[in-house]
Amino acid sequence: MTPPPATTEPRLIDRAIVKTMPIMPRRLVQRLSAPYIAGDTLDGAIGVVTSLAARGMGSTLDVLGEAITSREEAEATRDAYLEAIAELGQLDAPTPLVRNVSVKLTALGLGIDDTLVHENVDAIAAAMQQIGGFVRVDMEDTPYTDATLELYRSLRDAGRDNLGIVIQAYLKRSRADVEALASEGARVRVVKGIYVEPLELAWRDMATINRSYLDLCRILAEAGCHAAYATHDDKLISGCLDLVERMDLSRDLYEFQMLLGVREERRDDLVDQGHPMRVYVPFGAQWYEYSVRRLRENPRVAGQVAQATLLGWKRRLTPGGSKHA
């Protein structure tokens, strides 16, 4: 199912559907979130990565799993990445397009054991380094910001130059962080930021966040650093396109990034215009939390898909309706 146009406002019913998610059967949530998830197995995700590459798009593979509570879970997440990297290394597609993963540090042991998370990310970065691939360290909520930057820097200093980081435009500290990262030649993904943060740490006003976003992109461009413009917002996409044109940025200094299943028409337009594009491809058994977060972000999609699902059931139950509808 194609998600509805991104600009449409959610209706009350859509919001209500999203509110009932915690009590919805998991299979229904799975159905609602299907456009955003590349399945619960590695095979499914590799299929998505391959088909994106065939259309000239890059991908970044994300093994779903956050908020773990044990060393064993952290090691299982690491092993899932290592298995995925081994498969990515076998693909007959250009390296920069397909050999790319995103990792969340809390899924690899941050908050449980500092040494463990360090070793796990190092193992993933080493495996990627062997096949010429890249690892992006996602940014989570503010209790983890300093630790995430520290771990990223310590691994870079130890020679893992295939690591990149994420900076959230809604955080008041981000300008200083980006200035420091720019002076270190970092590769930075710029996002608005998805977590609910205290007012003293983060802006809530969208115009301010958007100004901050474009400012961060400009600082990176002026420093000659590679930036990933991760957004579906037309205003920001236009602002980034202006920046690319004004600074005559070459294709190896920027890329757009979008989430799987979101604003695919806009995504394809950018690709047709010759801009580099990478799609975030999440997969894995732990799809539930990710799905709920994505659907909360866009209640309109939840409403439309739920409606389609319910209509499908109704047709199946109505005498004369197709049993295969």
CB under 8 A, 24+ apart: contacts of 236-241 = 236/210, 237/266, 237/270, 239/210, 239/213, 239/214, 240/214, 241/275
Nearer to ligand FAD, 67 or 86 (CB): 67
Residue with smaller CB distance to ligand FAD, 156 or 278: 278
Is 138 considered catalytic here? yes
For position 78 contacting ligand FAD by CB under 6 A, the verdict is no
Residues 106-135 that bind ligand FAD (CB under 6 A): none
Q: Which stretch binds ligand FAD (CB under 6 A): 108-116, 155-163, 176-184, 291-299?
A: 291-299
In 3D, which of 106, 185, 118 has the Cα closest to residue 151? 118
* 177 is annotated as an active-site residue: no
Please give the size of the binding site for ligand FAD, defined by CB under 6 A: 27
Q: Which of 123, 297, 309, 312 lies at the binding interface for ligand FAD (CB under 6 A)?
A: 297
59, 77, 145, 231: residue in contact with ligand FAD (rule CB under 6 A): 231
Distances (CA, A) of 114 to 133, 148, 166: 24, 11, 20
139 binds ligand FAD, rule: CB under 6 A: yes
User: Which of 98, 99, 134, 138 is in the footprint of ligand FAD by CB under 6 A?
Assistant: 138
- Choosing from 14, 62, 122, 138, the catalytic residue is 138
Residue 168 interacting with ligand FAD (CB under 6 A): yes
**Neighbour tally for 231: CB within 10 Å:** 22
Question: CA dist 246 to 179, 222, 243, 249, Å?
Answer: 20, 11, 5, 8
CB of 249 to ligand FAD, least distance (A): 19
The β-bridge relationship of strands 254-259 and 277-283 is: parallel
Task: Considering the complex, state which of residue 78 and residue 263 has its C-beta at the smaller distance from ligand FAD.
Answer: 263
Residue 320 zone, left/alpha/beta (φ > 0; ψ -120 to 50; rest): left
* Smallest distance from ligand FAD to CB 232, Å: 3
Q: How many CA atoms lie within 13 A of 281 on its CB side?
A: 31
| Closest to 164 in 3D by CA, of 128, 196, 197 | 128
Q: Point out which residues bind ligand FAD (CB under 6 A).
A: 3, 6-7, 138-139, 166, 168, 191-195, 230-233, 236, 257-259, 262-263, 280, 294, 297-298, 301
- Name the residues annotated as catalytic: 138, 189
